[in-house]
Structure formats: structure tokens, C-alpha cells
Amino acid sequence: MPAAMIVFLVSCSWAQNSQSLSRVIEILADHDSRFKMEGQKQPLITAKAGEQIKLRITAKKAKNLNRDGSIHGFTLLRAKDRKPVPDWDFLLKPGIQEFTVVAPNEPGEYVVVCTVICSQDHEGMNMKFVVLP
């Protein structure tokens, strides 16, 4: 095998490693239209500005679902003006899904909201997200 090819293969596996090293955050999008995180009374995600994190979201169906089969949504908004954060808009199917995302560069308070009218309690389906400098 030519040396250049070996170098290429090695650098590919490095790139993969750095991806899998991102911190995993486990979230439950539950059947009672609430986001939950183990060990937390009020679910809260904390990340450093620009930090790459992996969201591992388990979704359980509430009363209603979208036509496309989505049972909950997961969208990040800036708290002060509820402006959506780009690339942070996901629809959840039943089961476990993973999303690798990059925290906003602007420190401050954000809020995760559900975007599927999943039940009568849908309006209360949100959680805090804090970006640290």
C-alpha cells in the first residue's frame, strides 16, 4: 500500500475518534409531554460556547403525533427573543435518536421547545439550556 494512502486512512480514523469523543447528553422526551434528564428535577443542559455535543434522545409517544410519524420535536431558541438557533431543529420518532450538534457561540440562556402538538400539555414541553462562555 502506498504511504500516502496509509496516512489518509489513519487521519480518517482520527477524525472519527474526535467525533465519538463528544460529550453525550441523554434526554427523555416522555409520553407525558415533558423533557426529562436522569437525576435532575428540572432538566437543564449546560454546554460551553461552541462545544460539540451529542444528544441522545429517547422519545416516547404522548397522545398525538404528526402525519409524518413524529411524536415530539426538539428545537433550540434563544431565550430573550425566541429566535431559533440554526441547525437545532429536530423531529423525533419513537425510540432512540442521536444528533451531533454544536452549542451556540453566544453565551446565555436558551430554551428547548417541542414543536409537535403532542398532547394538551404540549405547551409545557420545554427545558432550559445554558451556554457558558
Q: How far apart are CA 130 and CA 46, in angstroms?
A: 5
Residue 122 CB, shortest distance to Cu ion, in Å, is 5
The residue among 25 and 28 lying less far from Cu ion, judged by its C-beta, is 28
Q: Under the rule (CB under 5 A), what is the footprint of Cu ion? A: 33, 72, 114, 118, 125
The residue among 72 and 129 lying less far from Cu ion, judged by its C-beta, is 72
The residue among 62 and 101 lying less far from Cu ion, judged by its C-beta, is 62
Residue 74 CB, shortest distance to Cu ion, in Å, is 9
What grid cell was written down for 46?
Answer: 449546560
Burial of residue 129 (number of CB atoms within 10 Å: 0-12, 13-18, 19+) = buried
Amino acid at 112: V
Alpha-carbon 105 to chain mean position = 16
Beta bridge partners of 109: 130
The residue among 50 and 124 lying less far from Cu ion, judged by its C-beta, is 124
Q: In what order do the strands lie in the sheet with 52-59?
A: 35-36, 23-29, 52-59, 95-102
Residue 12 CB, shortest distance to Cu ion, in Å, is 38
Residue 110 CB, shortest distance to Cu ion, in Å, is 18
Q: How far apart are CA 26 and CA 31, in angstroms?
A: 16
